[in-house]
Chain A
Amino acid sequence: MLRYVYRILTINVLALSLIVIFQTSAKAQPNGEALFKANCTACHVVGDDVVVGPGLKNVHIKYKEDWLIKWIRNSQALIKSGDPQAVKVYEQFNKVAMTSFNLSDDEIKSLIGYIKTTSEAAPAAPTPASGTEVAAGSGAEDGNSSLTLMLVTLTLIVLFVILNRVQKGLQRVADNRNGIPEPVKLTGKAGLKAWIRGNKKLIAFLFIAVSVLGSVAGWNALAGIGINQNYAPDQPIKFSHQLHVTQNKIDCRYCHSGAEKSKNAGIPSPNLCMNCHKYVKKGPKYGTEEISKIYEAIGWDVDAQQYTGKTKPIKWIRVHNLPELAYFNHSQHVKVGGVECETCHGPVGEMEVIKQFSPLTMGWCIQCHRDTPVKMEGNGYYSAVHEKYKEKYGPDAKLTVEKLGGTECARCHY
């Protein structure tokens, strides 16, 4: 009977963990918010601060909806048409032309709706980056699931102990009934010895279990040396990929332009940052604090709007560290192989702080080389030898990187 109980318990545990795993936090995004984040955040906040363009708090009160629609669609045309309000705004904000957006009336209305709700909800503070929300949320979920599991385990242990006692009691009752005398209770050393004699199997089991678990744990610990997966050190500038990639939709290769040309993807130099941050002077989360570090590095005098010539290089903490003995080339993977950045670097667009997503172990590299077929069509380098490979491996064989020699030592070690 007890076996059934155990079995049920096991099933329960599995079911529980499945539930934990499949718990997701799907949140419906209002259309207006998405539009705002996609198009406006590069220059505006819903607040009082001027970033590039003015803060948009209560803009729905200040201007009429019709005028706003016209302005958002093509502000320059509106200015040229001599609209006094438009000219006034243009001149007030240093004659920085606003980009035209090809949005429908409904879309603009939902945008204005979003600004309205946000203005009312958060009267003073700028919108917090939603990345932090996600990060915090997922973190809490992780905590929850492990807590649930711990509770379940604890319950199971308590159940096990109770059942064990019940079984022992039942056994005693049965023994009594069958006339078997109750064993004499021994105490002290003798008692321990007797207990050991009576529970040889349990002790053997425990011994084996502990040594196996210990070895596994030890092995894992040793195998993990030098693997820095999830390494996310604090950087000298609290740069948020979440903000730049997801909200501002900047392509990875705008900043990491080496990825297509070189072995190094490259960390952008501050002069590249200045392409935007000459105008974007305030961030949504840290305000001017972090952006001013760029100015300090490149020597930009914000007040005088000019370079001072005093530079101070930024000392980023390197996150992805391949050992010196391994050669890796970004352009081979990005340009030739067409591998997406996210394949190795993970959901960078969700990372407030950049972290090492992949283990970067040799096993991880090799696994991908074993699984990934080479895109031969359209590349003259490969198509010249495609037929020969088909001949060798059969017409339907998956021509993986490995089959083309991609797991040979000297492809990466020399």
Chain B
Amino acid sequence: MEKRYWKGVDELNNDPEFVRLRNNEFFEHLPLNETLQKKAESDSSTSRRDFLKFLGFSVAAASLAACDAPVKKAIPYVVKPEEITLGVPNYYASTFADGSDYCSVLIKTREGRPIKIEGNEMSSVTKGATNARVQASVLSLYDTARLQQPMAKKKRTEWNTIDAEITAKLAEQAAAGKKIAVVTSSMYSPSGKRALSDFIAKYPTASHVVYDAVSYYGMLKGNELSFGKSVIPSYSIDKAEVIVSFNADFLQNWLSPIEFARQYGETRKLRKGKRTLSKHHQFESMLSLSGANADQRHKIKPSQQSAVIASLYNKVAALTGGTSVNATSTPLDKSLDSIAKELVAAKGKSVVMSGSNDPNEQVMVNAINFLLGNYGSTINLDRTCNLKNSNDAGYAQLLSDMDGGGVGAVIFWNTNPAYTASNPKAFAATLAKVPVKISLSDREDETAQICDYVCPDHHYLESWGDAEAYKGSFSLMQPTIRPLFNTRQAGESLLKWSGNTNTDYYTYIRSTWNTSVFPMQNGMSSFDAFWNQALRDGIFEASFVIGGATSFSGNVAAAATLLAKPASGIEIAVYEKAGLGNGAGGNNPWLHELPDPITKVCWDNYFAVLPAYAEKMGWRQGTVIEVKVGNSSVKGPVLLQPAMADETIAVALGYGRTNCGKAGNNVGFNAYPLVSMTGGVLNYYATGVAVNKTVEDDYTFALTQTHHTMMGRDIVKETSLAAWLKDPKAGNPPELIASPEGPMSPEELDLWKTKDEPGFDRINHAWGLGIDLNSCIGCGACVIACNAENNVPVVGKDEIGRAREMHWIRIDRYYTSDTTKENAEEKGLGKLDMYGEMEKPASDNPQIMFQPVMCQHCNHAPCETVCPVAATTHSSDGLNMMAYNRCVGTRYCANNCPYKVRRYNWFKYSDNDQFPYNMNDSLGKMVLNPDVTVRSRGVMEKCSMCIQRIQYGRLDAKKEGRRPKDGEIKTACAQGCPTNAIVFGDFNDPNSQISELFKDERSYHLLASVGARPSVFYQTKVWNRTEEPVKNHHS
């Protein structure tokens, strides 16, 4: 059975523009003038003679100017901090907790500047994993849109003044018996909670309301109904053999995605004798990252989900002896039968999750897990998860209180309801009824805009803080830079207003830990020693006794009757994207430019629709439609997205910010109005949607995927677990080339001498990367990690549209289709038709494959031989080097690269007002890695395999007179990868992990038949599917 891969809908539909452009090696629009014309700069045409004149003059001018070297100053510290050595980074353990993601991190600082975030391997929760948002958070520190001082009624003020005013007003409101509300996002900081309770003690009318834009209230309620306690349990996906997820995108957004991605990655590894894979079923309506990685993906409309869960419950109950409930039949019942069997077979080693915010659905899911005996093994109700604790009902109550005039003051801390409200205008009107409105936002965001006082919070890299992510799993947050602006920690503001005598948050946290955390350990007798240890590690793990058996006390039958019923007609599903999530970090250009893992669209959100459905509705890519749900209406463009459920429109939250800063304002549109409060909970899908087509029909997206054609060759290899168990080389047959002596391997047919060639015998090191396609989930953490490490510029939507993105690492996403050479004959297709059909998916549920592609560091590099100035050459340790200062920008190398990984600097992206991102202001430039050159216009660049890290690690080893240890040096992508799919190492070290992996039969080189002999290798993707094994297509 053979498969064809296709790159996108454009190719699939033989879009005339695509057909015209696909024959060009580079999918881009020339000439350059188009870009220049937008500023009318090219009005005056410059002739060749003028050009020569200018050239002559500028050479002369440059020579003259160069004669007088500029005087550079060197200003040492007046008092150098003892721990700082210029040029040597310091690492500090800290915690990223923005209410949406939680991650224990290490902050790399250089000369007191945080420049890179790494995962903290000591954490038992995230275990060194990160995601794109965590990686990008360092850039938010240097955001010019941050407020630089407190503001009162839109005027700059001082802390003393604003504190006096606020304290007086709060006292006034409390005295009048008016309610005071502190609205926060999910709160799991012990000291933060203590500060809140201190505040409430001072103002007895005060209360704490937790409001998350993306709420898990339904889960809390569901667990309360099931087990009598309003908690979220901890999940151990790594212990699960069968994973069933109902629209829970646990690899990207759901609950604790960083932790789950690391756990999931472990279940997808076939290393060190491990010969089992988890089996992952995903039920969903839009194509999520988790769905793309699922072994079996089942498409359902959002409203069908409850019925499917009920049906699954009945089937599991039938097999385990539980009581069945009333359930309607669903079209998926046949699949559910086998899934139920799989689940029961893996009793105690499975996990069922639901992303729904409906408490009754969560009760059903809990019941399934309980029947399967998962509590106590893969799910733990004793080690509770504190990451999400929003209270939809409490927030709704607050809103109605505010409307009724009973609320005297409201404080918003790390929450932005004016943006996330279903009806922003109504929210503004409600808020206007509150006399005292205070925002602790770090910028004048949508909510701060309509507040009286803004008391800007520090960035987390400037803050002291703590977190208890799970019961007993504590972590600390410490400042890694002095506050850049006249801002103040939000907790400290509360302490001030509570009238605390000691408002120093550091001392406050210490005292919290001294009284409540320190007693949980018994190893150390001195608090100072304990504190220093915890601060150094960033974490503290308390041991606690796990309670007895879990008993399920929920009423399944009652819950089943309350479940949502399948609806007919168009439905809408809202979700979060990998980059922006809920939109809190909306001004981060790195995240905007991160191609969405699935759609590969940058700088936009859209209405994703199944192509067949779009055709039926008369929409095409770029058609702007208006979606109406109840009284809300949202306008946006259509994006054709294969694998969507029929009659379903999916749209991402987090876009359409209006007050977050210049990079993020008015990018995309706001989809929060489509989120409504139904049945006391926030509902993230809607039925009964009305859709109108507007006259606009030509919205363009900045897509990265179709730019880099692989000319129809197979680059991703896959097989099934069953086939792999039989033959470890399954799906990975050697690529042979026809020769007079019969088929030969590219190595044997090599044009180049290998052994005798100087430089090819790598004596010292032979660096390389191994990428396991089986554990790569395509999340994009590596892309942002690379951005931060290698000073990759942001180019903006316009330039991405011209295929000029600068990312050194891209993640290719391929859809597979079901027409194969074998079944084409059955269908009676001719050769031409067969290939035409192979470009179309036979079913509308294609499989998805991800493949990270960076410079392959070919040992016989095609780029090196064509460079006229020898700017790209090979090193004796196997790296393809790029000397920017030697490059003259002919781009021959990019033309000759079979992998299309070279990037050309069409413009100077730093200090250029055309690119108003972080490299254009002195504050944003502080994030730059001082060990990596900022490239200028007209030079080629590409992945250097983090040569600066290699050099640094090697030098460390040399200084200590030893060989570098395996794993000591890691590229940024490998270190940032949440699933450890990327491994860096030395092939010359026989004991290194990479040498071990390379020996594995799943290993292959990308386009091996080209004979470029890359230093990067991939490992076949192995699906755990019951269907027939798939074989790759070889032309």
Contact = CB atoms under 8 A, between A and B. Distances in A.
A410 B959 contact: no
Interface string A378-408: 1111101100110010000000000011001
B840 to A, nearest CB: 45
A74 interface: no
A413 B76 CA distance: 25
A314 B73 CA distance: 9
B230 interface: no
Given A381-B958, A414-B948, A392 B763 contact: yes
Nearest to B931: A327
Interface stretch (B126-134, B564-572, B880-888): B880-888
A413 B885 contact: yes
A233 B955 CA distance: 33
Given A228-B69, A297-B78, A410 B963 contact: no
Contacts of A405: 764, 875-877
A193 interface: no
A205 B945 CA distance: 57
A320 to B, nearest CB: 9
Nearest to B790: A414
B39 interface: no
Contacts of B764: 385, 404-405
Contacts of B944: 410, 414
B554 to A, nearest CB: 59
A222 B79 contact: no
Given A316-B75, A384-B963, A388-B763, A331 B86 contact: no
Nearest to A335: B959
Contacts of A313: 75-78
Interface residues of A, number: 58
A271 interface: yes
Interface string A354-394: 00000000000000000000000011111011001100100
Contacts of B763: 385, 388-389, 392
A311 to B, nearest CB: 4
B955 A261 contact: no
A318 B72 contact: yes
A225 B63 contact: yes
A261 to B, nearest CB: 5
Contacts of A266: 76, 85-87
Contacts of B69: 226, 228, 231, 321
Interface string B738-764: 000000000000000000000001011
Using C-beta atoms within 8 Å of the partner chain, give the interface range for chain B.
35 or more
Contact of B79 (A270, A315, A384): A270
A299 B79 CA distance: 11
B20 interface: no
B88 interface: yes
A314 B76 contact: yes
A168 interface: no
B922 interface: no
A314 B67 CA distance: 27
Contacts of A225: 63, 66-67
A258 B86 contact: yes
A225 B877 CA distance: 34
Contacts of B78: 269-271, 297-299, 311-314
A123 interface: no
Contact of B961 (A222, A381, A411): A381
B873 interface: yes
Contacts of A191: none
- Interface residue SS majority, chain B: loop
Given A405-B877, A410-B875, A410-B947, A379 B79 contact: no
Contacts of B63: 222, 225
B951 interface: yes
A271 B76 CA distance: 10
A262 interface: yes
Interface string B47-90: 00000000000000001001101011111111110000111100
Contacts of A314: 75-76, 78
A39 interface: no
Nearest to B88: A262
Given A258-B85, A261-B85, A381-B962, A325 B75 contact: no
B210 to A, nearest CB: 44
B879 interface: yes
B875 A264 contact: no
A28 B303 CA distance: 101
Contact of B76 (A269, A336, A382): A269
A268 B75 CA distance: 10
B932 interface: yes
Contact of A331 (B873, B882, B947, B955): B955
A15 interface: no
Interface string B308-337: 000000000000000000000000000000
Contacts of B883: 409-410, 413
B976 to A, nearest CB: 19
Nearest to B886: A409
A76 interface: no
A329 interface: yes
B955 A329 contact: yes
Interface-central residue, A270, A313, A408, A409, by most chain B CB under 10 Å? A409
B957 interface: yes
Contacts of B76: 266-270, 313-314, 316
A413 B77 CA distance: 28
Contact of B885 (A271, A316, A325): A325
Nearest to A379: B961
A161 to B, nearest CB: 37
A380 B77 contact: no
A299 B78 CA distance: 9
B507 interface: no
A381 B957 contact: yes
A332 B139 CA distance: 31
A323 to B, nearest CB: 8
Contact of B958 (A267, A312, A332, A408): A332
B110 to A, nearest CB: 11
A317 interface: yes
Interface string B903-939: 0000000000000000000000000000111100000
Contact of A410 (B86, B761, B881, B931): B881
A351 B957 CA distance: 35
Contacts of B67: 225
B988 to A, nearest CB: 9
A208 interface: no
A323 B69 CA distance: 12
A318 B74 contact: yes
A91 interface: no
Contacts of B882: 409-410, 414
A246 to B, nearest CB: 23
B79 to A, nearest CB: 4
A412 to B, nearest CB: 9
A380 B73 contact: no
B919 to A, nearest CB: 14
Contacts of B74: 267, 315-318
A388 to B, nearest CB: 5
A215 to B, nearest CB: 15
A405 B879 CA distance: 12
Nearest to B880: A410
Nearest to A405: B876
Contact of B73 (A271, A315, A336): A315
A414 B963 contact: no
12 contacts: A226-B66, A257-B85, A261-B85, A264-B86, A267-B74, A272-B80, A317-B74, A392-B761, A405-B764, A408-B873, A409-B882, A413-B933
Given A269-B79, A329-B951, A381-B961, 16 more contacts: A258-B85, A261-B88, A266-B85, A266-B87, A270-B79, A272-B80, A314-B76, A316-B76, A324-B934, A325-B884, A381-B963, A404-B764, A408-B875, A409-B871, A409-B873, A414-B947
Which 5 interchain pairs have the tightest Cβ spacing?
A: A410-B881, A262-B87, A405-B876, A409-B883, A269-B80
